[in-house]
Structure 1
Amino acid sequence: MNTSILFQNVKLGPFELKNRIVLPPLTRSRSTQPGNIPNDLMATYYGQRSGAGFMVTEGTQIEPRGQGYAWTPGIYSPEQIAGWKKVTETVHKEGGVIFAQLWHVGRVSHTTLQPGGGAPVAPSAIQAKAVKVFIETGPGQGTLADPSVPRELTTAEVKELVQLYAQAARNALEAGFDGVEIHCANGYLVNQFISAHSNKRTDEYGGSLANRLRFLREIVEAVSAVVGNDRLGVRFAPLFESTTEERVYLGLVEEDPHQTYISAIKILEEVGIAYLSLAEADWENAPDLPEMFRKAVREAFSGRILYAGKYTVEKGVRMVELGYADLIAFGRPFIANPDLPQRIANNWPLNQVDPSSMYGGTEKGYIDYPRYAG
Structure 2
Amino acid sequence: MRSLFDPLQIGDIAVANRIVMAPLTRNRAIGQLPNALMATYYRQRANPATGAGLVISEATQISPQGQGYLDTPGIHSPEQVAAWRQVTDAVHAEGGRIVVQLWHVGRISHVSLQPGGAAPLSSTNKVANSKTFAAEGFVPCSQPRALRTDELPGIVEQYRLAARNAIAAGFDGVEVHAANGYLIDQFLRDSINDRADAYGGSIPNRARLLVEVMTAVAREIGGGRTGVRLSPVTPVNDAGQDSDAQALFEHAVQQIAPLGLAFIHVIEGQTGGPRDVAPFDYAALRRHFPGAWMVNNGYGRAMAQDSVAAGAADLVAFGRPFISNPDLGRRLREDAPWNALNPALLYGGGAAGYTDYPTLDVATA
TM-score calculated relative to the size of structure 1? 0.92
Code of the aligned partner of 2:321? P
- Compute the displacement of 1:314 (Å): 1.2
Q: Over the residues paired in the alignment, what is the CA RMSD in angstroms?
A: 1.5
Alignment of 1:60-71 (within 5 A): 60-71=60-71
CA contact (8 A) 1:205 1:214 kept: yes
Q: Match for residue 149 of structure 1? A: 143
Q: Match for residue 238 of structure 1? A: 232
Sort the Cα spacing of 1:259 and 1:18 in 2 relative to 1 into closer, same or farther, 3 A: same
The structure 1 residue matched to 2:172, chosen from 156, 178, 188, is: 178
Sort the Cα spacing of 1:81 and 1:284 in 2 relative to 1 into closer, same or farther, 3 A: closer
Q: Match for residue 133 of structure 1? A: 132
Mapped to 2, the partners of 1:211 and 1:89 lie a distance apart of 40
CA contact (8 A) 1:186 1:250 kept: no
CA contact (8 A) 1:29 1:72 kept: yes
Comparing 8-17 with 46-55, which one deviates more in the overlay?
8-17
Sort the Cα spacing of 1:36 and 1:22 in 2 relative to 1 into closer, same or farther, 3 A: same
Code of the aligned partner of 1:314? A
Alignment of 1:323-342 (within 5 A): 323-342=311-330
CA contact (8 A) 2:188 2:207 kept: yes
TM-score calculated relative to the size of structure 2? 0.95
Is 1:308 aligned to 2:296, yes or no?
yes
Q: What SS does structure 2 have at the residue aligned with 1:252?
A: coil
Mapped to 2, the partners of 1:31 and 1:259 lie a distance apart of 38
Alignment of 1:185-264 (within 5 A): 185-239=179-233, 246=235, 248-264=236-252
CA contact (8 A) 1:68 1:134 kept: yes
The structure 2 residue matched to 1:44, chosen from 32, 40, 44, is: 40
CA contact (8 A) 2:107 2:142 kept: yes
CA contact (8 A) 1:294 1:324 kept: no
Among all aligned residue pairs of Structure 1 and Structure 2, give the percentage whose two residues are the same amino acid: 45
Gaps of 5+ in 1: 138-142, 241-245
Mapped to 1, the partners of 2:259 and 2:278 lie a distance apart of 25
Is 1:287 aligned to 2:276, yes or no?
yes
Kindly tell me the number of residue pairs found equivalent between the two proteins.
357
Q: What SS does structure 2 have at the residue aligned with 1:273?
A: coil
Mapped to 2, the partners of 1:99 and 1:283 lie a distance apart of 21
- Compute the displacement of 1:298 (Å): 2.4
Q: Match for residue 79 of structure 2? A: 79
| Moved beyond 3 Å, runs of 4+ | 282-286
Q: Match for residue 113 of structure 2? A: 113
- Compute the displacement of 1:321 (Å): 2.2
CA contact (8 A) 1:120 1:149 kept: yes
Mapped to 2, the partners of 1:249 and 1:304 lie a distance apart of 27
Mapped to 2, the partners of 1:271 and 1:13 lie a distance apart of 11
Is 1:8 aligned to 2:2, yes or no?
no
